[in-house]
Amino acid sequence: MWCEEAAAEEAWCSSVLGFDMFLLENSVSHFAPLILEGSALTNGGLNLHSPVKRKLEAEKDYVFDKRLRYSVRQNESNCRFRDIVVRKEEGFTHILLSSQTSDNNALTPEIMKEVRRALCNAATDDSKLLLLSAVGSVFCSGLDYSYLIGRLSSDRRKESTRIAEAIRDFVKAFIQFKKPIVVAINGPALGLGASILPLCDIVWASEKAWFQTPYATIRLTPAGCSSYTFPQILGVALANEMLFCGRKLTAQEACSRGLVSQVFWPTTFSQEVMLRVLEESKCLVRSFLKSVLEDVNEKECLMLKQLWGSSKGLDSLFSYLQDKIYEV
């Protein structure tokens, strides 16, 4: 269903971009003579046939053309995505979290929908794999709890269902994605930003990255299939510490326990990632059965919906955010 929505939005974007390109192609040829005439009237002493004059006017046309093309690129980017950036590289598709509407690349239903659309598009293009990374010093701070409280305060029953289903569909998109997913963690990954990592094939991390799933601190149940994948990867003891005690893992600890594939020095992290992702061409096989993950995902999101639909769940979120404010 969400792939059909993505196709409809892509068609609308294409029509808008087609109109922009029509303006681009016709505006320069139409206005260039006017620019020349205006210059001749203003500078009556100059010869229009002067080589210098022609060069100056050609440069004006070039700048005008360049600005229009920049405008088209901006329209294309804005039309397709607002809170992520998608780049088509040679052999792979690169999705960058770059939220304009939340702090520290926190996730809202709207941002998760954009990621789903990008995954849907990447699933059908000619790329061999997907690279997921982030802009800024934080990879992803998980759900945007300020957004969550604001929505749940207005219509608890309706919004708890909508947000829980957005998480379910977001996680499901990773589970069902058939191409290898490589994740580059440039900084802290919290909550859902950490929970989705076992659903990916390779996780590279900067030395500055750290991982935390403070669900119990907020009195929330785990998400992103972490109630199943974390014990499988980290072992039951460490998984319980992370999911129920808010244990923070450094990049090296996460690597030693299998959550992260490799750790890189921060100053060369971006270069290492781009070099190595080009070398990854073979199709990797995830160790988890999709049917099991989909079942776990459904159950986790059902529990979240029930929790957010209660006054107790909302009070816990208020208390958590208040404590964070006092920490600052």
Instruction: Give average pLDDT by consecutive 10-residue segment, the chain, 328 residues.
Output: 56 46 41 37 41 50 41 44 92 93 93 96 92 95 90 85 95 94 96 96 95 87 95 96 95 97 89 78 58 92 85 69 54
117-136 as b/e, with b when 16 or more CB fall inside 10 Å? bbbbbbbeeebbbbbbbbee
pLDDT for residue 324: 57
pLDDT for residue 321: 66
Query: Rounded to whole angstroms, what are the CA distances from 157 to 149, 161, 169, 219?
Result: 13, 6, 19, 18
pLDDT for residue 142: 95
CATH architecture assignment, domain 84-327: Alpha-Beta Complex (3.90)
pLDDT for residue 91: 86
Question: pTM, whole model, 2 decimals?
Answer: 0.72
Q: Do the Cβ atoms of 102 and 83 come closer than 8 Å?
A: yes
Spatial CA neighbour of 205 closest among 246, 242, 243, 259 = 259
Alpha-carbon distance 273 to 134, whole Å? 12
pLDDT for residue 175: 95
pLDDT for residue 288: 66
pLDDT for residue 296: 92
Spatial CA neighbour of 229 closest among 139, 318, 296 = 296
**DSSP string of 199-259, one letter each residue:** GSSEEEEETT-EEE--TGGGT----TTHHHHHHHHH-HHHHHHHHHH---EEHHHHHHTTS
Q: Where along the chain do its domains lie?
A: 2-79, 84-327
Spatial CA neighbour of 144 closest among 194, 185, 114, 102 = 102
Identify the sign of the CA torsion 110, 111, 113, 114. positive
Alpha-carbon distance 209 to 138, whole Å? 8
Other C-beta atoms lying within 10 Å of the C-beta of residue 270: 14
